[in-house]
């Protein structure tokens, strides 16, 4: 009797079962803006990887005759910088350091910040309060100021720049991780998992991670653009990358004296930073809505 | 009472409601609750919302730490004499919200298989058994095994939750409003399934609900709670036909009936239950009780035996002057 009724109930909603990630992919592909942003971001990454093959000239080779050539000069499609180096080649090579400075701190901070935030959120109580209040101390500083302070204390250099940016991004990521985990922890499926006798570690691994990493990751991708801008700022202040290495922030800095002579040329590194940050932002926005399971 | 499979002894749970030191306020969610459940029996738990039913369920299953009191499984204290991990295998729980109680990123097959893997079963074997359990609760494992919670209906999800509890091969299942959120027709199917499973596996249920009709249908004994206390507990037939506590009477009078002669003409209870932060002194029910008299506001009644396995906490049963 009961079984016969069940068949009717089950037939009503029968259709092909779908995996979670295939659904995410399908929804993402429908979002034209996100796909376009993904293409731009992917193109930038490919450009960075294959820079030596893509760039038409040596980014370090300058001639004083050509300094500050305007955009469209023969052989220098985007002009030449204040030392007469090919702007296009320097922008292409600059993608390497700029993307590296944008992605790496966020990636490291994502791992450390998630670990801290998930642990604090799952533990709850006073462990959570103490951890989060300590992080709030860092959070209270404006990120630019904190990055400059740490970087300044450690001295110039790529590695110190990376370190300072990582420290800057741990508190916000941990905060997001903590709030998402706290929300998930209160749900009944976590209670059900606790009722199974599983250890806290097993519950976090099997039930918490899958439900919190998505939102944390999306938030972290939105920080990539912030990280790039901060890294550019550090370079601009002479704290991150040092000359003659091509990096967009540093290029923006050195070209600022030429802004009255060749304003379009001086704006080019800024355009690249803008392009990268906006494409990563829109990509993460698209990911966020694609990962929303209730659509 | 040593033959009880699960028993609660003076369970107390107070929640902080703000304030420090002397000004600290507590919600007395569960206050000195004791009862026991015999093997194979179904104990129904009823009461208004906020009376401590769900907190009692979470204390029983050790999902919440008790402030005082203990839960005994087969006479041994859970958490100390019975290790918690073993206790959890014997006492399982099904929650009200079928959607929130399933991990949205886990397939139904893995949701059922998770528990046994915690207790050392390898994954392929756990999945094989999970498939058989899904089949038993009326879901085709080939069709529903690979599905996610948002892809199936509430009734189907609650069947999965029952299968998940069964996967431990438990002795006791605490059903916290497990059918309350379902449509009437689906509710009836799930109740039938629960009845079948109880017979088939010799399960003991603690069935928490606000629906008195459903509780009467499924329970052998019924426990009535009010403001964190047990006011009456007794065999279903006795309690429904001859309640010995005015609160139980009022609840039963509020029960919807299809018989026009027994239609409720006026609300048997006025207003909401008092604030559990500051419960009334004496009998907690006296502020709403139509038959409150002399001792009620001053002294709290103690549970007294009023029939076979039938206890009620009311001065009407014990103080002689009340009869006159």
Q: Mind listing the pLDDT tens digit for each residue in B110-142?
A: 999 998 998 888 888 899 999 999 999 989 888
Between A254 and B159, name the one with better pLDDT: B159
Residue A78 has a pLDDT of 72
Note whether A2 contacts B148, CB cutoff 8 Å. no
Q: What is the pLDDT, as a whole number, of residue B182?
A: 85
In the prediction, which pLDDT does B294 show?
81
How near does any CA of chain B get to the CA of A78, in Å? 49
The verdict on a CB contact (< 8 Å) between B105 and A18 is: no
Report the pLDDT value the prediction gives residue A11, as an integer from 0 to 100. 41
The distance of B263 to chain A (nearest Cα, Å) reads 32
To the nearest whole angstrom, how far is the Cα of A103 from the nearest Cα of chain B? 28
Task: Tell me what pLDDT residue A17 has.
Answer: 46
For residues A230-245, give the mean pLDDT. 79
Q: Which residues of B touch A12 (CB under 8 A)?
A: 153
B95: helix, strand or coil: coil
CA distance B93 to A191: 9
Mean of pLDDT values over A252-261: 80
Q: What share of chain B has pLDDT > 70, as a percent?
A: 94
Mean pLDDT of A133-162: 85
Q: What is the ipTM of this complex?
A: 0.81
Choose the weakest-confidence range: A22-26, A31-35, A215-219, B144-148: A22-26
The pLDDT score that the predictor gives to residue A118 is 92
User: Tell me, what's the pLDDT at A18?
Assistant: 54
Determine which of B65, B107, B143 to mutate to test the interface with A (most A C-beta atoms within 10 Å).
B143
Residue-wise pLDDT tens digits, B256-301: 776 777 666 666 677 777 887 888 888 888 888 888 888 888 888 8
- pLDDT tens profile A180-220: 999 988 888 998 888 888 888 889 888 888 888 888 888 88
**Stronger pLDDT, A107 or A252, i.e. the higher one:** A107
A266-293 pLDDT, tens per residue? 788 888 888 888 888 888 888 878 876 6
Closest CA to B29 of B232, B207, B275, B251: B275
Q: Structure pTM?
A: 0.79
CATH of domain B6-105+148-323: 3.40.50.300
Q: Which residue's structure tokens are 């350091």?
A: A97
* The residue count for chain B: 324
Residues of B in contact with A195 (CB under 8 A): 61, 63, 88, 92-93
Burial class for A285, CB neighbours closer than 10 Å (0-12, 13-18, 19+):
middle
Residues of A in contact with B168 (CB under 8 A): 196
User: Is residue B240 less than 8 Å (CB to CB) from chain A?
Assistant: no
pLDDT at residue B184 is higher than 60: yes
- From the candidates A8, A24, A189, A190, which should be mutated to test the interface with B, based on the most B CB atoms within 10 A? A189
> Which residue in the set A17, A188, A193 is minimally distant from B146, CB to CB?
A17
Hey, are the CB atoms on B103 and A189 less than 8 Å from each other? yes
Residues A156-165, mean pLDDT to the nearest whole number:
86
Cβ contact A207–B103 (<8 Å): yes
Question: Touching check for A289 and chain B: CB below 8 Å?
Answer: no
In the A/B pair of chains, how many CB contacts fall below 8 A? 99
A223-256 burial, b at 16+ Cβ within 10 Å, e below that, comes to bbbbbbbbbbbbbbbebbbeeebbbbbbbbbbbe
Question: Do B143 and B109 form a contact (C-beta atoms < 8 A)?
Answer: no
Place of tokens 């007794």: B234
Name the closest residue on chain B to residue A16, using Cα atoms. Answer: B143
Q: pLDDT grade, residue A91 (50/70/90)?
A: confident
* Whole-angstrom distance, CA of residue B203 vs CA of residue B169: 9
Contact residues on chain B for A9, CB-CB shorter than 8 A: 153, 155-156, 186, 189
Average pLDDT over residues B170-179: 91
Q: What is the mean pLDDT of chain B?
A: 86
- Retrieve residue A183's tokens: 């929300």
Instruction: Give the DSSP per-residue string, B171-205.
Output: SEEEEESTTTTS-HHHHHHHHHHHHHHHHHHT-EE
Please give the average per-residue pLDDT across B246-256, as a whole number.
Answer: 85
| Contact flag A13-B93 (C-beta cutoff 8 Å) | no
Which residue(s) pair with B33 in the sheet?
A: B11
Mean pLDDT value of segment A76-105: 81
Give the pLDDT mean for B12-35.
83
Where residue A182 falls (left for φ over 0; alpha for ψ -120 to 50; beta otherwise) is alpha
Give chain A as a DSSP string: -HHHHHHHHHHHT------HHHHHHHHHHH-HHHHHHHHHHHHHHHHHHTHHHH-SS-TT-B-GGGTTPPTTBTTBTT-B-TT-BBHHHHHHHHHHHHHHHHHHHHHHHHHHHHHHHHHHHHH-HHHHHHHHHHHHHHHHS-HHHHHHHHHHHH-SSHHHHHHHHHHHHHHHHHHHHHHHHHHHHTSHHHHHHHHTT--HHHHIIIIIHHHHHHHHHHHHHHHHHHHHHHHHHHHHTTSSS-TTS--HHHHHHHGGGGTTT-HHHHHHHHHHHHHHHHHHHHHHHHHHHHH-TT-
Is the confidence at residue A8, as pLDDT, over 60?
Answer: no
CB contact under 8 A, B118 and A196: yes
Q: Which residue has the tokens 């731009």?
A: A40
Q: How do strand B310-312 and strand B26-37 relate by DSSP bridges?
A: unpaired
**Burial of residue A98, with CB atoms counted within 10 A of its CB: 0-12 exposed, 13-18 middle, 19 or more buried:** buried
State the Cα–Cα distance between residues B43 and B209, nearest whole angstrom.
Answer: 11
Q: What is the pLDDT of residue B267?
A: 64
């Amino acid at each position: 009797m009961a079984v016969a009724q069940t068949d009717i109930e089950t037939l009503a909603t029968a259709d092909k079962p779908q995996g979670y990630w295939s659904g995410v992919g399908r929804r993402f592909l429908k979002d034209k803006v996100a796909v376009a942003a993904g293409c731009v971001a992917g193109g930038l990454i490919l450009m960075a990887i294959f820079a030596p093959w893509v760039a038409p000239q040596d980014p370090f080779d300058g001639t004083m005759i050509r300094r500050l050539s305007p955009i469209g000069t023969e052989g220098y499609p985007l002009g030449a910088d204040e030392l007469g180096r090919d702007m296009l080649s320097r922008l292409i090579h600059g993608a390497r350091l700029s993307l590296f400075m944008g992605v790496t701190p966020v990636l490291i901070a994502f791992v450390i910040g998630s670990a801290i935030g998930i642990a604090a959120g799952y533990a709850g109580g006073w462990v959570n309060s103490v951890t989060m209040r300590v992080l709030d101390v860092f959070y209270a500083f404006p990120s630019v100021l904190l990055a400059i302070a740490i970087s300044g204390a450690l001295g110039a250099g790529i590695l110190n720049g990376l370190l300072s940016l990582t420290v800057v991004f741990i508190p916000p990521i941990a905060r997001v991780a903590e709030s998402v985990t706290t929300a998930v922890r209160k749900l009944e499926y976590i209670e059900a998992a606790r009722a199974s006798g599983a250890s806290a570690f097993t519950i976090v691994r099997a039930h918490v991670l899958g439900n919190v990493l998505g939102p944390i990751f999306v938030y972290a991708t939105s920080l990539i653009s912030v990280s790039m801008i901060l890294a550019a700022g550090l370079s601009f202040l002479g704290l991150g990358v040092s000359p003659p290495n091509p990096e967009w922030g540093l290029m923006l800095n050195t070209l600022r004296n030429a802004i009255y002579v060749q304003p379009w040329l001086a704006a080019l590194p800024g355009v690249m930073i803008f392009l990268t940050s906006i494409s990563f932002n829109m990509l993460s926005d698209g990911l966020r809505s694609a990962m929303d399971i209730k659509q | 009472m040593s033959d009880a499979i699960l028993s609660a002894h003076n369970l107390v749970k107070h929640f902080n409601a703000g304030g420090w030191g002397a000004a600290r306020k507590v919600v007395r969610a569960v206050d000195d609750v004791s009862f026991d459940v015999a093997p194979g029996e179904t104990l129904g738990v009823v009461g208004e919302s906020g009376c401590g039913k769900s907190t009692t369920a979470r204390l029983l299953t050790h999902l919440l730490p008790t402030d005082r009191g203990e839960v005994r499984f087969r006479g041994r204290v859970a958490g100390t004499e019975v290790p918690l991990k073993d206790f959890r295998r014997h006492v399982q729980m099904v929650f009200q919200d079928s959607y929130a109680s399933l991990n949205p990123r886990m397939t139904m097959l893995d949701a059922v298989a998770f528990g046994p893997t915690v207790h050392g079963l390898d994954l392929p074997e756990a999945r094989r058994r999970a498939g058989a359990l899904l089949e038993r609760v009326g879901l085709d494992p080939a069709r529903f095994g690979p599905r996610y919670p948002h892809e199936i209906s509430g009734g189907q999800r609650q069947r999965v939750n029952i299968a998940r509890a069964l996967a431990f091969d438990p002795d006791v299942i605490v059903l916290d409003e497990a059918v309350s959120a379902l449509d009437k027709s689906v509710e009836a199917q799930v109740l039938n399934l629960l009845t079948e499973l109880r017979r088939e596996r010799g399960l003991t249920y603690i069935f928490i609900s606000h629906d008195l009709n459903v509780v009467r249908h499924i329970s052998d004994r019924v426990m009535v709670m009010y403001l964190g206390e047990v006011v009456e507990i007794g065999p279903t037939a006795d309690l429904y036909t001859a309640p010995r506590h005015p609160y139980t009477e009022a609840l039963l009078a509020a029960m919807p009936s299809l018989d026009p002669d027994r239609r409720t003409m006026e609300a048997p209870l006025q207003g909401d239950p008092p604030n559990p932060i500051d419960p009334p002194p004496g009998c907690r029910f006296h502020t709403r009780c139509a038959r409150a008299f002399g001792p009620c506001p001053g002294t709290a009644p103690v549970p007294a035996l009023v029939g076979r396995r039938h206890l009620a906490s009311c001065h009407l049963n014990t103080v002689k002057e009340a009869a006159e």
